[in-house]
Amino acid sequence: MVSFIMSPDLCCFSLSICQLLLPRVSYLMLVTDKVKKHFLRVMKAEDVEEMWFEYEGTPLKWHYPIGVLFDLHASNTALPWNITVHFKNFPERDLLHCPSNSVIEAHFMSCIKEADALKHKSQVINDMQKKDHKQLWMGLQNDKFDQFWAMNRKLMEYPTEEGGFRYIPFRIYQTMSDRPFIQKLFRPVSPEGHTLTLGDLLKELFPAAICVEDEPKRFQVVIHGIEPLLETPIQWLSEHLSHPDNFLHISIIPVPSD
């Protein structure tokens, strides 16, 4: 549950908040048309520029999935998630412009193509027709799982003898860094044929997230709002917990202090 609240500098009228249930796998700018219409009813035309969102002083990147934004910024808070809506003073240095849904579609398809380049050398996505690409997008846009999965299941297949994808499409996010995310080539199986796990990935790219014996836990490793066991095979996670863009989005969150 998300509560959208008008920015105080624009709130001249007594207007109720706008509450919505939003899918974790979608994007803010794709599912907030109702929010815009709700607040525009009481606003002057000269006060309306480009809509953007902020949580506790942090502009929210629309090109990150909603679930990733929540995990990074608000996973340790009680619901509803209170997001502030702005129509002026767009933060050029922090956010990308999103003038239409076609921009979201272009971003989404670019991510899928990048993911398939990692998994299958782009063979699967290139074998699809344009209407198949459109079906992937429409399934996400309309929140229709069956429509989306009819095409996406092809992107999740691999030859049994290979034991997994060529490389795992993943991104590691952290709130305590200016770096957008960590991304690197990582195979699901070692050269010796051993199945690699989430813990193996973190040991290589974010070893601070691995809890050393007798030391207090410093970080939560969150995927889709849950903390998977570090022993979980990274191939399984990629197949079952990737977002519709086919990336495994991993959030590293500092453990809240008491």
pLDDT single digits (tens) 156-191: 999 888 889 999 999 999 987 777 899 999 999 999
pLDDT of residue 39: 87
- The CATH number covering residue 32 comes to 3.10.20.620
How much is the pLDDT for 182? 96
Is residue 89 a contact partner of residue 57, using CB atoms and an 8 Å limit? no
Per-residue pLDDT at 12: 55
Residues 174 and 233 reside in one and the same domain? yes
Kindly state whether residues 116 and 80 are assigned to the same domain: no
Q: What is the pLDDT of residue 180?
A: 85
* Domain endpoint, select from 157, 176, 201: 157
Burial class (CB in 10 A: 0-12, 13-18, 19+), 227: exposed
Specify whether 48 is located in the same domain as 109: no
Q: Is residue 96 part of a domain?
A: no
As for how many domains the chain has, the answer is 3
Residues 151 and 210 placed together within one structural domain of the fold: no
58 or 49, which is more confident: 58
Q: What pLDDT sits at residue 14?
A: 54
Q: Please indicate, yes or no, whether residues 182 and 250 belong to a single structural domain of this protein.
A: yes
Per the CB < 8 A criterion, the answer to whether 172 and 205 are in contact is yes
Backbone φ, ψ for residue 81 (5° rounding): -80, 120
Across the range 196-215, mean pLDDT stands at: 93
Specify if 246 maps to a domain: yes
Q: Which of 157, 177, 201 is the last residue of a domain?
A: 157
For position 9, what pLDDT does the model report?
72
Of residues 41 and 66, the one with the higher pLDDT is: 66
- The Cα 134–Cα 168 span in angstroms is 24
Whether residues 72 and 149 share a domain: the answer is no
Residue 77: domain span: 2-86
CATH number for the domain including 129? Answer: 1.10.246.190
| 16 and 48 belong to one structural domain | yes
Does 15 have pLDDT greater than 70? no
Instruction: Residue 203: give its domain's CATH number.
Output: 3.10.20.90
Considering 86, 114, 147, which residue would you say is the last residue of a domain? 86
- For residue 11, name the pLDDT band (cuts at 50, 70, 90): low
**Is residue 49 located within the same domain as residue 129?**
no
Q: What is the mean pLDDT of the chain?
A: 93
* Domain assignment of residue 153, yes or no: yes
* Closest C-alpha among 63, 66, 129 to residue 94: 63
Report the pLDDT value the prediction gives residue 13, as an integer from 0 to 100: 56
| Residue 61 and residue 123 share a domain | no
Q: Is residue 224 part of a domain?
A: yes
In a domain, 73, yes or no: yes
Average pLDDT over residues 193-218: 93
Closest CA to 49 of 107, 116, 102, 97: 97
List the Cα angle 171/176/179 in 5-degree steps: 50
- Residue 64 confidence (pLDDT): 98
**pTM of the entire predicted model:** 0.93
